[in-house]
Structure formats: C-alpha cells, structure tokens
Amino acid sequence: MKSLRIAMIGCSLAAVIGLSPAASAETRWARHHPRQHEVLRREHHQIARINRERREGEITGAQARADRSADRAIARQDHADARANGGYITKAQQRQLNAEENAQSRTIGK
C-alpha cells in the first residue's frame, strides 16, 4: 500500500513537472512576433539616442522629456494594437508605427 502511494505521488510530480514548461511557453509574454519586435527595437534605439544627445548637451532636458514622452506614446500604441489583435500587430499597424517612429526620429536633436 505504501509503495503504491509513493508511486502515485511520483507519477503526479512527474506529470506536473513535465507540463510546466509547456504551460509557461504559451503565456502572452513568451510569444514573440517579428513585426512588433522591430517597432519596439526602434523605439528603444531612439530612447538611447535621446539619452546620448542629452548627455552630450545637444538637447535640453525639456526636449529630452518631450522626445521620450512621444516615443513612449508610440510604444503604448504598439501594445494597444497588439492587445487588440491577439498579441501581434498587423502589417498596416507596423507601417503606421514605423511612420510615427520616422517622424519622431527626425525631431530628435533639432
């Protein structure tokens, strides 16, 4: 009887451990979509540019805050679009976000 109970506990633990990676891989944060990654990578790159230009004195603190705020607004739009589309953005949304990033990029350092 005791050995049967130990065997059942062992099987239960093996089942739980075996299912854990599969269950965690399906979370919405584990999914990775190339269009969204590209937009967010550009946003992070622009934030780094803003910070570098602020450190070098090319822009004022107020301009850096305004530029960061505009970049965060683009990132928020990306997240909202992804939430509305099951975790990814469409090609049209990617084009729109990239156009916004391009416009924002031209204002950095001016």
The predicted structure's pLDDT at residue 110: 67
Residue 3: predicted pLDDT: 61
The pLDDT value recorded for residue 30 is 35
DSSP one-letter string for 49-97? HHHHHHHTTSS-HHHHHHHHHHHHHHHHHHHHHHHHTTS---HHHHHHH
The parts of the chain modelled with pLDDT lower than 70 are 1-32, 109-110
Would you state the pLDDT for residue 50? 93
What is the pLDDT at residue 108?
83
pLDDT at 85: 86
The CA distance from 2 to 7, in Å, is 9
